[in-house]
Each structure stands twice: as structure tokens, then as C-alpha cells.
Amino acid sequence: MVVGGQRGWDMGGEGEEESTVILKPPKKASILSRMIVLMFAMVCGVYVCVVCLKQIGTQSKINIEDIQLLKGPTSDPDPVQLKFPGDHYPSPKTFNRSECEHNPVRYFAILSMQRSGSGWFETLLNSHVNVSSNGEIFSVLDRRGNSSSIQEVLDKVYNLDWFTSASKNECSAAVGFKWMLNQGVMAHHKDVVDYFNRRNVSVIFLFRRNLLRRMVSVLANSYDRYAKLLNGTHKSHVHSDDEAKTLSKYKPTINSTLLVDDLKKVEMMAARAVEYFNSTRHMVLYYEDLVKNRTKLQDVQQFLRLPKMELTSRQVKIHKGPLSEFVENWEDVNTTLNGTEYESFLQSDY
Ligand SMILES: *[C@@H]1O[C@H](CO)[C@@H](O)[C@H](O)[C@H]1NC(C)=O
Ligand SMILES: *[C@@H]1O[C@H](CO)[C@@H](O)[C@H](O)[C@H]1NC(C)=O
Ligand SMILES: *[C@@H]1O[C@H](CO)[C@@H](O)[C@H](O)[C@H]1NC(C)=O
Ligand SMILES: *[C@@H]1O[C@H](CO)[C@@H](O)[C@H](O)[C@H]1NC(C)=O
Ligand SMILES: *[C@@H]1O[C@H](CO)[C@@H](O)[C@H](O)[C@H]1NC(C)=O
Ligand SMILES: *[C@@H]1O[C@H](CO)[C@@H](O)[C@H](O)[C@H]1NC(C)=O
Ligand SMILES: *[C@@H]1O[C@H](CO)[C@@H](O)[C@H](O)[C@H]1NC(C)=O
Ligand SMILES: *[C@@H]1O[C@H](CO)[C@@H](O)[C@H](O)[C@H]1NC(C)=O
Ligand SMILES: *[C@@H]1O[C@H](CO)[C@@H](O)[C@H](O)[C@H]1NC(C)=O
Ligand SMILES: *[C@@H]1O[C@H](CO)[C@@H](O)[C@H](O)[C@H]1NC(C)=O
């Protein structure tokens, strides 16, 4: 920044020198005009500095060193935000809301990453008689190619005209879907935030704190995509202990050279997402907290202003117990993370 100001002054000086040669003005005037040019250059320098800082500021305020998102405690949802979920009375093109047409509908989106428990979380939500969470609808490339195709899909979902096995049709009191951050959310974040704010869509962030366990799950799941360990079929989620045991037999090898960088990238993406969507009505949930404390589900129901219900899921966790049993080169990973900020990932059980 200082360099910018300095250079401005130097160039101003040179220009002045030339013009004095040509015009030959009195010496006094020359000193005065030099002073003016100096002032001008300094003002310019300061202005350039401010503009630069502003641009850096709008890009991201997040420092890799001080991300606390995944490490910090759960912060309770902002009580002011809790108050106004926005009441909607959609009139779907394809059916009549009949008996429930006077019940308000809340719009939501679950923003998450692959293998962070969002599948499980969604089955819990959908066990509510009034919730339609329509799955990972933007996994289809065509639907997220540009902002307008994204908007078209969103319109359809929130107008209750999107049908999946999860749709509760007439009596939905909350409608939404889960959306992975790498499926167009980050790429089109400005337009998506505008849309969410315009239509009062509430955001539920769901993150996994232990990114090492997440990584193991990602690697194992992408292996199974080809290996199809369950009688020749690939399953991302299972409903029995036997199936879980079969899937967890595969032990991935983790590239320890890239490990810390990879974990950092994922953490950064989560932090950036929360920053981008800061202006929307939102809450942040952690998979580990949900596993430990089911009353967190009541916070979600309160956030969406739903009639309270006991939520259930038949899904079974695939990798249970210490992570060391599920990684081929565990010692290598242990040594790599020893003494880093991610050391705690080695121990925890979720
Ligand atoms: C969004 O919510 C605010 C506050 O409840 C309300 O004033 C506004 O009309 C709502 N907008 C829409 C499109 O529902
Ligand atoms: C929906 O119901 C209302 C009255 O309850 C009726 O007037 C309207 O024609 C119905 N619309 C459709 C598409 O069935
Ligand atoms: C957006 O994508 C859709 C389908 O992928 C395409 O039909 C449409 O022309 C695209 N619109 C713009 C503005 O690029
Ligand atoms: C929830 O669904 C039930 C059964 O379909 C319905 O009777 C009830 O009115 C719904 N509640 C809300 C708030 O929409
Ligand atoms: C796979 O096949 C075995 C026996 O052949 C059967 O017991 C088991 O239930 C099957 N599992 C699945 C996931 O279909
Ligand atoms: C890890 O990744 C780096 C960079 O892609 C690669 O050079 C290296 O060979 C990999 N190590 C192993 C053990 O696969
Ligand atoms: C979100 O905005 C609020 C107030 O505008 C600010 O206090 C908070 O630090 C912001 N959070 C993030 C993650 O940017
Ligand atoms: C469980 O979650 C609820 C709601 O967020 C909270 O009030 C309670 O303190 C939590 N209990 C434990 C043991 O963490
Ligand atoms: C972890 O680091 C400490 C010192 O930083 C060292 O004494 C210890 O042997 C290391 N453990 C492993 C498993 O590398
Ligand atoms: C990591 O390695 C050290 C030294 O071998 C061992 O004491 C520690 O239990 C290991 N940590 C885990 C989580 O396996």
C-alpha cells in the first residue's frame, strides 16, 4: 500500500519536472505546484489503499488461522431470527391444498457437504407428518448449470410442485431440500442469497466437526460406488448393522502429504458458506451434536415453527468405533496430524 502511494508521488514529480522545463515558470510557483502534486499523489495513494482493502474485505473476511466454526461450541440460534420464519400460502399448479390451504408453509434449505449426516438428518425431518424435504435435487447437473435454471427449480420446490417420495403435498408445513455446497451453492451464492432473502427461505447448515471421519466416509463411499459391496449394489446409506459391517470392511488409504491441506480446504469452504449466507435467516447444526443430543431436533422444529413431534430414522451408522480400525495407513495419519490443529480428529468417536 505504501509502495502504491510512493510510486504515485514519484511519477507526479517526474511529470512536474518536465512541465517546468517546457513552461519555465517562476521557482516559487514550481515549489507550490510540487506541493500540490505531492498532496494529490498522497490522496490518490490513500484512495487506492482504501479501495484495495475494501475489495479484499468483500472477497472474504475469513483467515485460515482463525476459523472457529467447526471447533467452537454450538451457538444458539439468534432469537431475533427465530421470530420471523415468513408465512407462505403457496398455490400449487398441480393439486389443491384443500383442507390445509389456510396453514402457513415455511421454506427451508439444508446446506451441507457430502458424508456429513445430511441423509440421516433428512430422513429424521421427513418422519414429520408436515415436512417435505425433497432430497439432493441439485445433484443433477442440468438443474444447476446457471442461476436461472436454479431459480426455476427453487420456484417449483417452494410452490409445492416438486414431487418426490418425501412430498407431503396438501399438508406440508415446511418444504425444502438438501443442497451440497459443491452443487452450485458456492458458485452462485449471490443469486441464491438474493432469492432466499426475497422469498424468506430459512437455511439450516449441517456440518460435521470431525473432517477426518468425513474424509474416511467419502473415500469408502466412492470405493463402494465401484466395488458394490452389498450383493452387487452400491448403497450410500444402510438400514442394518450387517450392511454397515460389510461396508466398513474396506479400509481406505489416506494420502498424508495432502491431508492437512485437504482438511483445511473443507473447513474453509464451510466457513465461507456461513459468511456468504450470513444475511439469511439461518441456524448451524453439527452432526456430532445431533448424534449426542436428540433434543437438538426440537431446535430445528422450533426454527421452522413446526408442531413438535418425535422424529425417527431407520438409518444405521456405517463406521462405528475408533477411526484407527477404518484406515489402512493409520500410523502415517496419526503422525501427520500429531501436533497440528486437527489432532483431536484422531481420537473422537463420531
Ligand atoms: C418475509 O418475512 C418478512 C418478516 O416476517 C415479511 O415482512 C415479508 O413480507 C416476507 N416476505 C415474503 C415474500 O414472504
Ligand atoms: C381447489 O379448491 C377450491 C375450493 O376449495 C376450488 O374452488 C378450486 O376449483 C380447486 N382447484 C383445483 C385445481 O382443484
Ligand atoms: C440455463 O440453463 C438451461 C438448461 O441447462 C438452458 O436451457 C438455458 O438456456 C440457460 N440460460 C442461460 C441464461 O444461460
Ligand atoms: C400436518 O398434517 C396433518 C395431517 O396431514 C394435518 O391434519 C395438519 O393440519 C398439518 N399441520 C399443519 C400445521 O400443516
Ligand atoms: C445378500 O445376499 C445374502 C445371501 O445371498 C442375503 O442374506 C442378504 O440379505 C443380501 N443382502 C442384501 C443387501 O441384499
Ligand atoms: C499424494 O498426492 C501427491 C500429490 O497429488 C502425489 O504426488 C503423491 O504421490 C501422493 N502420495 C501417495 C502415497 O499416493
Ligand atoms: C454475520 O453478521 C453479523 C452481524 O452482521 C456479524 O456479527 C457476524 O460476525 C457475521 N458472521 C460471519 C460468520 O460473518
Ligand atoms: C441438548 O440440546 C438442548 C437444545 O439445544 C440443550 O438445551 C441441552 O443443554 C443439550 N444437552 C446436553 C447434555 O448437551
Ligand atoms: C507427536 O509429537 C510429539 C512431539 O511433538 C512426539 O513426542 C511424539 O512422539 C509424536 N507422536 C507421534 C505418534 O508421532
Ligand atoms: C498415535 O500414536 C501414538 C504413538 O504411537 C499412540 O500413543 C496413540 O495412541 C496414537 N493415537 C491414536 C488415536 O491411535
Each residue of 109-132: pLDDT tens digit? 999 999 999 999 999 999 999 999
User: Does the CB atom of residue 38 touch ligand 5 within 6 A?
Assistant: no
User: Does the CB atom of residue 101 touch ligand 4 within 6 A?
Assistant: no
Q: What does R_g of the chain's alpha carbons equal in angstroms?
A: 27
CA distance 162 to 246: 35
User: Does the CB atom of residue 64 touch ligand 6 within 6 A?
Assistant: no
Q: pTM (2 decimals)?
A: 0.80
Q: Whose CA is nearest to atom 7 of ligand 7?
A: 278
Q: What is the predicted pLDDT for the residue at 14?
A: 31
For residue 241, report the distance from its CA to the centre of ligand 5, in Å: 13
The pair phi, psi for residue 36, each rounded to 5°, is: -60, -45
Q: Which segment of 48-52, 112-116, 251-255, 301-305 scores lowest on mean pLDDT? A: 48-52
CA distance 91 to 119: 28
Residue to mutate (ligand 4; options 87, 89, 169, 171; most atoms within 8 A of CB): 171
157 neighbors 137 (Cβ within 8 angstroms): yes
Q: Which atom of ligand 3 is nearest to the CA of 146?
A: 1
> 184 is written with which cell numbers?
452450485
Kindly state the percentage of the chain with pLDDT values over 70: 79
**In this structure, how many other beta carbons lie within 10 angstroms of the beta carbon of residue 325?**
11
User: Does the CB atom of residue 173 touch ligand 4 within 6 A?
Assistant: yes
333 neighbors 255 (Cβ within 8 angstroms): no
Whole-angstrom distance between the N-terminal and C-terminal Cα of the chain?
A: 47
If you average pLDDT over residues 175-179, what whole number do you get?
96
Give the residue from 32, 65, 126, 94 showing the smallest Cα distance to 340: 65
